[in-house]
Structures are given as structure tokens and as C-alpha cells.
Amino acid sequence: MIESSIEVPAAVNEPVLTYAPGSAERAELQRALASMAAAPIEVSAYIGGRDVPSAERVPMRSPHRHDLVLGHWHSAGPSQMDDAVAAALAAAPAWAATPWSARAAIFLKAAELLATKHRATLNAATMLGQSKTAHQAEIDAACELVDFWRFNVAFLPKILGDQPLSSRGVWNLLDHRPLDGFVLAVTPFNFTAIAGNLPTAPALMGNVVVWKPSATAMYSAHFILEILKEAGLPPGVINMVLGDPAAMVDRALASRHLAGVHFTGSTAVFRSIWAKVGAGVGAGRYRSYPRVVGETGGKDFVFAHPSADVDALAVALVRGAYEYQGQKCSAASRAYVPASLWPSLRARLMDVLPAITVGDVGDFAHFMGAVIDRRAYERITGAVKGALADPGCEVLHHGHDDHRGYFIRPTLIRVDDPGHALMRDELFGPVLAVFVYDDARYDDALARCANDSEYALTGAFWARDRGAITHASGVLRQGAGNFYVNDKPTGAVVGQQPFGGARASGTNDKAGSALNLLRWVSPRTVKETLVPPTEWRYPSMG
């Protein structure tokens, strides 16, 4: 028991290691890659502090090496969700009564374990299982997840410290209760950090959680859980279920005790979850109104003004569109370029793209790895095939090969119509569509950029002209939840650029900020009257 006004350690962003040739971190990561590839693992559900294996074993393969089986995950039926919910609810009273500093200590310890002892393991897991390069794994699995855990802890006492006024003779306070029930966390394949953050942010605020990871990121999910266990997470606080996504999630949404959903993934799945929660509310199924937080798809833009710096713009497009094979929700996938800049920009891009190598991320020289699975490969190559046959598209660079892994080369397509599907719909792959606008029709092009896509996640505006930046920032205000000036639209850093979009891109609750944590508390107002009145008549009645 500690009786003290507690200060948490100041949060600073975890430094990004370089993995340059000869560095200690590179040698350690290469050792981890080799040893983990040689030692397949079994990933089972984790319920009430116990591993729960099942008979149906699904292989986990490396996206860039069909022959590399990393192990198996154990698939269960939806009744496993009932067990997980029961275990979570059983753990709820003790966890809610745990002092906030004790909860925070667990996540600070997890951050420290990840920054040190387990850094190479989680990075290697993200490379092997999700085909991230060393740099992409480092900024995601190590740095961003460490940052989520440290910064969320730093936000916590600020939230708790936000207290109401007390007038004379009265003491008012806000009791930041957890939600009344359990939180369902449903996580995507493309960021290990998001998989780690969605279950832990509500847990830090005192909630109990059932976590359903993505089938294509089970491998790294297992190692996240191992870190949390080592950090001292009590049994039942976070429970992991493994099985058919729709069946599992539907079962959780059917529970009377559903108190919140913390989702990141595609817009279609989030819409279906919201609709089911809505129907459940309508039917009076839930004890409370579940909090629904979802960060979803994007069709992220880069808009170039005629005053843009072409050299820097080309680099931003290459990194913003093609890193992690374009499988970032924030990846640049549509660009608007003035005709006056297009010839020089095109020349620069066409210099770089053929030089990009795509391959096994175990070879650190590659800029890109494989896309996540066969479904993604078919979807993306199908769209490129459509563009090749479309007279309204000029495919400037492309290529694909699924012999050893799901490899798709950086693809650049110029479209005649700014309303083309390639400028509108999320494709989630290394495909950048460019619309070249007439400089004289700049305002029209900017308006199309602001309104053509249903998404509003990230966007970047490029100009040297300050007046143009101010004007475009206004026109594009509702067009992106994360707006970049003279930068690529990817790479948000926890604590610096709180992340989330609007419109069809999500509820914009800004992961990595106090705003998100606020969704996981249900404050109780407590008023205590120090000396209660003993006379029922008011003076005015005299």
C-alpha cells in the first residue's frame, strides 16, 4: 500500500535503432530471426491465466516464404468466447480495485521488457509473420508499442487529476470507474503495436478485456501476450481467443455484459460490428450502452501545389505509398499532381521504382517484403490487371510474383479521371494512383481531393507557398484526421501525432492520446456534504 501523490515517469519516445551493418542490434535481430524460424511454436488461446489448446491447428506461414511454417495456432469454436467472457468478469472486481499505480507498473514493466530483453523477439516475429522489413518492424513492434504503453501510463494520472470544483462545505470528486462489463478488442494484421495497444489501453483504465487477434498476426500476438504475462498481468484481465472471426465476435456482441468494443480493421467489418451493437441496444440486450471505438480504412492523399519541392515530394511518395507494401492504413494511395510538375516528378519516380527490391525481409537490403496473404495478393494483382486493360489508366510501373512469397512490385498508375475507383476505394497494397491536374484548375482538383473518397484518415499537402498551405488546410479540414504539410502521410508517432481519422475512417478517438483512454472510463460523481443541514425551512420562507 502506498499513500502518496504519485508521479509517473515522464514519457519519451523510444529511440529508433538503425540496424546498420555492424551494429549490435542488427546482429541480435539476425540471431532471433534464425532461431525463431527454426523453432515452430504452438499458439493457443489464453483464458483466465491458462493456455487453452484445441484440436484444430492452423499453420502460420511467412508471407515471403511459403515453405516457412512458423508454427500453428489453435482454432476453437465460439463457446470459447463464453469462457473468456466469464474469466474476464470473474477478474473484474479485483482488477477494478487494484490501485492505478499498480496497474500502471505492469505496463511500464512491459514497455521496459519490450525495449530491452524482448525487442529482437517481437521485431523478428513481426518480420517473419507479417513480412515487415527490419526498419518497419522496429518502428512498429518495438518503438510504437513501447510508446503506447509508456505514454498511456503518463496520460493516466492527468485524467484522474481532472477533478470538479468543491464549494464551501462540500467535497466533490470524480471516481474514474472502469466500464461495467468487459471490453472486446479486435485487432488488425498490419501493426503489432495496435494489436498490443487495443487490449491494454482499456485494461490500464481498470477494464477487463477479451482480445481477438487477426488470423494473419497470431504469431506476433503470442509474443505480445508473453511479455504481458512476464510483466505481471493478473489472470483474467486480458484473455485471448482464437477462432473464426465473425463467429467469435458475434458471440461477444451477444453478451449482456459487453461494455465496449475497441476495433481496428476494415470499414466493412467495423460497420457490421456497429450495426450488431446497435441492434443489441435496440433489443435491450446490454446492461449499458457499449462504447464503440473503431479506427478503420483509408484512401490517403498526397496533394501537390505547383510550388511543391519535387525532389522531396518524390521521396515522400515512395516511402508513403510503398513502405510495408502499402499495407498501412495511412499509406499514400492517391496523389494529385499539377501538370507543370508531372514530367519532373514522373522522371524521379521512374528512376527510383525500378531500383526498389522486393523480397525476403531476412535480407535487410530489401525495401519491401510480401503482402500478407493470398487473398490480398489476388485482390491487388486483380486491380492492377484491371488497370492494364483500362484505357483511362496508364500503368507506369508494376510487377508481381508469388513463386516463393506474395511479392508485388511498387505500382504506379496515372488515371485520367479523379473519380476513378483507384482514387476512391481502399486497395491496401503497394499501388499509387496519380491524377495529373491542369494548373489552371487547381481549385477543382483540391475540391475533388477533399470530397471524392468516403475516407478521411490521413493526407499530405505539399507546397512552398505559405498562402497555399493555409488555404488548403482549410479546404481539406474534414478530409483527414491526420494532416501533414510537406511530409508523407504515414509514420504518426505516439504522443506527437495522435492518430485517427473521420468519416468512414473511424470514430477518431485518437489512439496514443488521453482522448482514447477517456472512452474506457465511466466516471462516477461523488458529492459529500461535510456538515449536512438540520433545518428543512429555507431562510426566504421566514
Binding mask 302-331 for ligand NAD (x = CB under 6 A): ---------------------------x--
Our finding on whether 221 is near ligand NAD (CB under 6 A) is no
Site for ligand NAD contains 265 (CB under 6 A): yes
219 belongs to the binding site for ligand NAD (CB under 6 A): no
Q: Pick the catalytic residue: 138, 323, 329, 393?
A: 329
Please name the helix (run of DSSP H) or strand (run of DSSP E) that holds residue 445, with its range, or none: helix 442-451
What phi and psi, each to the nearest 5 degrees, are found at residue 305? Answer: -85, 155
**Residue 145 lies near ligand NAD (rule: CB under 6 A):** no
Site for ligand NAD in 164-183 (CB under 6 A): none
Q: Which is nearer to ligand NAD, 505 or 522 (CB)?
A: 505
Burial classification of residue 306, based on how many CB atoms lie within 10 Å of its CB (0-12 exposed, 13-18 middle, 19 or more buried): middle
Tally: H helices and E strands in the chain: 16, 23
| Shortest distance (Å) from residue 327 CB to ligand NAD | 7
Of the candidate spans 17-25, 34-42, 266-274, 377-385, the one that interacts with ligand NAD by CB under 6 A turns out to be: 266-274
What is the footprint of ligand NAD within residues 242-261 (CB under 6 A)? 245-246, 249
User: How many residues bind ligand NAD, per CB under 6 A?
Assistant: 30
Burial 383-416 (b: 16+ CB within 10 A, else e): bbeebeebeebebebbebeeeebbbbbbbbbbbe
Q: What is the closest distance, in whole angstroms, from the C-beta atom of residue 501 to ligand NAD in the complex?
A: 6
Q: How far is the CB of 243 from ligand NAD (least distance, A)?
A: 10
Instruction: For ligand NAD, give the closer residue by CB, 294 or 362.
Output: 294
Give yes or no for residue 214 binding ligand NAD (CB under 6 A): yes
Gyration radius of the chain's alpha carbons: 25
Shortest Cβ 425–ligand NAD spacing (Å):
11
Residue from 296, 325, 333, 513 that binds ligand NAD (CB under 6 A)?
Answer: 296
- Could you tell me if 217 and 192 are in contact, meaning their C-beta atoms sit under 8 angstroms apart? yes
CA distance 267 to 453: 13
Q: Is 389 helix (H, G, I), strand (E, B) or coil?
A: coil
> Residues with Cβ < 8 Å from 64, sequence gap 6 or more?
131, 359, 360, 361, 369, 370, 404, 405, 406, 407
Asked if 393 is an active-site residue, the reply is: no
Q: Which of 14, 138, 144, 295 is catalytic?
A: 295
Residue choice 428, 435, 437, 484 for contact with ligand NAD (CB under 6 A):
428
Q: Can you tell me the distance from the alpha carbon of 436 to that of 430, in angstroms, rounded to the nearest whole number?
A: 19
- Is 539 exposed, middle or buried, given 0-12, 13-18 or 19+ CB atoms closer than 10 A? exposed
Distance in Å, CB of 139 to ligand NAD, minimum:
14
Active-site annotation holds for 143:
no
Q: Report CA 371 to chain centroid distance, whole Å.
A: 17
Name the site residues for ligand NAD (rule: CB under 6 A).
Answer: 186-191, 194, 212, 214-215, 245-246, 249, 264-266, 269, 272, 295-298, 329, 426, 428, 457, 499, 501, 505-506
Give the residue numbers annotated as catalytic, written as ranges: 295, 329
